[in-house]
Amino acid sequence: MDISLYQSEIQKLIQDIQESRGKDPKRTIASCKELEQYGLSRNDNALIGFSRFSLGETYYLMNDTTNFYREMIMCLEPLKAIKEWGYLTMANNMLGIMSLNRGNAPFAMDYYMQAIHYCQEYQLPDLEWVVHMNLGNLYLNIGDPDSAIESFEVGYQYINNHPHTDNYISTLTAACIGLGKAYLQMNEVNVADEFNHRLLRECMPKLVPMEKLVVYCFEARLYNEQGRKDECLDCIKQIRESFNEEVPILDVFDDFYDYLKMLLEIQRYDDFSEMLFLMEGSTKHTGIRNLEKKLLVLKLKRYKAIGDLESYQQAAVKFFELDQLMDQETGMMIANTIELRSRLNELANITREVENANRALQMKSETDALTGMNNRLKLSEYADEAFLRSMNHQKGFAIEIMDIDYFKEYNDNYGHQDGDRCIKFVAKCIMALQAHEGVFCARYGGDEFVIIYEGYTDKEVFDIAKELKESILKSKFEHKYSKVDLKILTISQGIFWSIPERGQSPWNYLHAADTLLYKVKKKSRNSIMLGHKLDGIDDEIITEEGEV
């Protein structure tokens, strides 16, 4: 935008926005709103688009998602009218980041592909690599490290070829961490360590404390995988001492989320609770329910790990409430996507590419990368539909949660690769149940799986569950570190069965099944427990032999 075309008063407003951007949000917002009003009074798309984009960017930095969406969506048409492809690229890039944070990878993919199209169509290589970096994060989120590496490599090569660009060290840091995380996800620890060496050698001495935090998160995970306990603990200490509420949580959420999962794995519960408390405060300010929900899942896992059933049940209620609120957010995202798609229709040369990418991404986002099973996203969608069918036809509906007995001991002693092999074997046995009509299977997380039985009596459900248990026992899959006397792989199963009633939801059944599994684990492993009553779950079937 050529500001010399405007009178001195307007030039001063534009300069004020450029100078205060990212430093003084109140000043930026006031100047943007004044400039927007002037632009609207003269129907000047350049001023309208610039002021709304700057407002959206400021709200993004403030973690104010509601105002961000409004302003960033509203800036698109005026910017397009004046052919400001650079600002349009940055706007779509930020909309992609926000959509991914809200838990909708397909929507994020639309925005990123639109941004990449602008870059390729109008020769913007200095922006294209940034979009590819964020696309890499999207692929990490859906468990596709190969595609993530391809995207991160675009950014990494650009940065290597442009060492004199602004923020070179910060961008090199982001690229090294992105590639390092992708190789960690592939269990290629040595390759991840090579990027860490470059971080330590070239980046860390020049980073500000806030940027170092993200590096520490990555290093802590890497050192944990390498068994370098002292270095891992030192990173934990550095994070504990440096984290504060001024951290831009939307930019670093995934890094700290992965770090929290590691703290749970190594049972650093005090550090986990302290960091979770700080992250909950920052995340709640964003108003993004999906981020709150992800943290709540970790909290549920901690309560389960330490056997705090009362806190677990309280958190479970909160989880259900968040799930309902997320439905409202989904409506907002759909409205935003409709706006985007109406513009994509004018770009026929990329429409097919976007649709094909979305179809592939939708399959990935609904499929667990390790086992090929349905994942929690698909589980949530299917459970609602199956529950409604069962309620309308007054047929039996059951949810089972099962896990592998003493899987931690298996993973710790046989190693992660054999641990993955074990998970895949159990998944294969579970998926065989889908030969029964009305049986749906999904990986719930870690070594936990969920099975939905639609249209069966409680006795029929129990028989199918027993079929799974026996197929795993007959395999005699070695687990010499199991505390079950058999010294082979065994599973524990908690099942809740009933005929659905209005006012209930699949979550009620899932929670009841999880409570039953918890009881199984406390009493004896390698067992099945089936309950009928939501209040108290007193009416139970507990057996290894199949007696009802």
Measure the CA–CA gap between 294 and 296, rounded to whole angstroms.
Answer: 5
Phi and psi at 443, nearest 5°, equal: -85, 130
Within-domain flag for 319: no
Q: How many domains does the chain have?
A: 1
Q: How far apart are the first and last CA of the chain?
A: 77
Burial 378-392 (b: 16+ CB within 10 A, else e): bbeebbeebbeebee
pLDDT tens string 115-145: 999 999 999 999 999 999 999 999 998 889 9
Q: Is 409 domain-assigned?
A: yes
199 contacts 215 by C-beta, under 8 angstroms: yes
* Percent of all residues in the chain with a pLDDT value above 70, rounded to a whole number: 87
- Retrieve residue 254's tokens: 């995934």
List the beta bridge partners of residue 440.
452
User: Cα(418)–Cα(430) distance, rounded to whole angstroms?
Assistant: 18
| pLDDT single digits (tens) 183-207 | 999 999 999 999 999 999 999 999 9
User: 526: domain CATH number?
Assistant: 3.30.70.270
DSSP3 helix / strand / coil % (the chain, rounded to 5): 70, 10, 20
Give the model's confidence band at 105: pLDDT under 50 very low, under 70 low, under 90 confident, else very high: confident
Please state the rounded mean pLDDT for residues 457-477: 94
Among 21-25, 319-323, 526-530, the range with the most confident prediction by mean pLDDT is: 526-530
In the block, which residue shows the tokens 């929670």? 511
Q: What is the mean pLDDT of the chain?
A: 86
- Give the pLDDT score at 319: 76
pLDDT of amino acid 296 = 87
Residue range 363-375: mean pLDDT, rounded: 79
Residue 82 resides in a domain: no
Q: CA 338, CA 470: separation in Å to the nearest integer?
A: 50
Look at residue 398 and tell me if it is in a domain. Answer: yes
Residue 387 lies in a domain: yes
Q: Is the pLDDT confidence value at 331 over 60?
A: no
Q: What is the domain range of residue 498? A: 376-543
Q: Cα angle at 251 between 377 and 134, to 5 degrees?
A: 65
For range 413-426, the mean pLDDT:
94
CB 63 within 8 A of CB 285: yes
What mean pLDDT do residues 13-30 have? 88
Q: How confident is the model at residue 99 (pLDDT cuts 50, 70, 90)?
A: confident
Joined tokens for residue 113: 């592909």
CA distances from 508 to 87, 224, 283, 514, 531 (A): 47, 37, 27, 10, 13
Residue 165 inside a domain? The answer is no
Distance in angstroms (rounded) separating the CA atoms of residues 208 and 546: 62
Residue 216 lies in a domain: no
How many distinct helices (H) and strands (E) make up the chain? 22, 6
**pLDDT computed for residue 154 by the predictor:** 95
Is residue 11's pLDDT more than 50? Answer: yes
Tell me the sheet residues that pair with 540. Answer: 531
Q: 5 in a domain, yes or no?
A: no
Q: Helix, strand or coil for residue 248?
A: coil
The answer to pTM > 0.75 is no
Please give the pLDDT value at position 138.
93
HEC string of 251-271?
A: HHHHHHHHHHHHHHHCCCHHH
The share of the chain scoring above pLDDT 90, in percent, equals: 55
